[in-house]
Amino acid sequence: MLDKKVGSTLLLSLFVSGFLQTAKAELELSGYYKNLFVNSRTLSLFGSQQSYNLDLNRLRLELKGSLAEETTFNVQYDNEVLLGNYLKTNQFLTQKNRASDTFFDLNKTYTDNKSVYARHGFYRAYLDTRVMDADVRIGRQRIAWGTALFWSPVDIINPFTPTQIEREERVGVDAVVVDWDYNDLSRLSLVGAVHNNSVRNTTALRWRTNIARYDLGMTVGRFRNDTMAGFDFAGQLGAVGVRGEWTRTSSPVDGQYQRIVLGADYSFPNTLLFMVELYYNGQGKSNSLDYDFDRLLSGEIQSMARRYVGALVGYDISSLWKLENYYIKNLDDGSQFLYLRLIVSATDNIELSVGTQLYKGNSGSEYGALEDNVTLQVQWYF
């Protein structure tokens, strides 16, 4: 624990030092304030259910700067205040006490009671530099390798749950990434990432190129105690965008399994967008009695069954109004998920949205065990 605290201090000192060195240079400061209101019910998995309201207030500040001709930094600081009776529930108590998977402790809770929960820390904090012919990124970052929308077997370093309300949010990882572009269309990437448990440290190699206007990639490595090899592609088949991912994993917990995603998208001239994905998850279970909800809610896994279909229908009603509809069906237990969202650009830098997530399924099914919610959001960019 002491080593992690020392490491966190050194990492932050590095960025502060960089800021002081470039105080006279051109810096770029941007960010946003978000207010997200959620009305829902707690899950039966956490005991007796109760209706709740949650009001999330987040201020994110992003500072970019240059330390040298080929060295830049990016620091994104978050300050979050949570309000509402959700703070009094067993569900929140369980979730807030879950240990983070990151190595460095870059977040701190400064208020914690039944009325207010407040925390601040660093969402991203990394350096970009050039070493010989390679680009090197060091620090808390997002490593995006996948091409799929709902499920991405290749994007295993920063995985996300397809039903999460804030789809754009990704927990960062403490890593060193080396990217070597050995020609205009090809890249070789090496990643080393550390976690709170050294057994779960990640080492991976990824190759990416473009052949006949198709982006192709191959990935091998050790990810959080699992060994994985995979292939992915993305391109155009006429007017239709196509993509796919395949991985084979050897895990001490789940044994050997494969995961496959195939997807397609088409944009109509009237701004209507349609996307569909088919997903086979060899890590999952065919029988809902074998589901592990604790692993799902902790973020260790993102889906519990084996066969899924997902679709997105997006439509720009006007230049200011946009409609998004996300749909997922678990083909093993028949449960379904629907996320309806209306987005309005109130001004050039203020965005409003209203949404609802609807879950349907039998008792014990993946989506039948989750609760409907209604969300209201305002986001001001600056």
Q: Measure the CA–CA gap between 148 and 144, rounded to whole angstroms.
A: 11
Give the pLDDT of residue 2.
47
Between CA 301 and CA 305, with CA 304 as vertex, the angle to 5 degrees is 145
Cβ(233)–Cβ(214) below 8 Å: yes
CA torsion sign, 193 to 196 to 197 to 198? Answer: positive
% helix / strand / coil in the chain, to the nearest 5? 10, 55, 30
pLDDT score of 23 more than 60: no
Cβ(35)–Cβ(94) below 8 Å: no
Q: What mean pLDDT value characterizes the chain?
A: 94
Q: Measure the CA–CA gap between 382 and 13, rounded to whole angstroms.
A: 26
Cβ(314)–Cβ(292) below 8 Å: no
Q: Measure the CA–CA gap between 1 and 18, rounded to whole angstroms.
A: 26
Domains contained in the chain, CATH given: 27-381 (2.40.160.10)
pLDDT score of 372 more than 60: yes
The runs of H, that is alpha helices, within 202-242 are none
pLDDT score of 78 more than 50: yes
- Give the tokens for residue 86: 């959700």
* Residue given tokens 């105690």 in the structure block: 225
Work out the pLDDT band at 98, boundaries 50, 70, 90: confident
> Residues 134-174: pLDDT tens digits?
999 999 999 999 899 999 999 989 888 999 999 999 989 99
Cβ(334)–Cβ(365) below 8 Å: yes
Q: Measure the CA–CA gap between 94 and 101, rounded to whole angstroms.
A: 16
DSSP string, 237-301: ETTEEEEEEEEEEEETTTEEEEEEEEEEEEE-TTSEEEEEEEEEETTS-SSGGG--HHHHHHTS-
Q: Which percentage of the chain shows pLDDT scores above 70?
A: 93
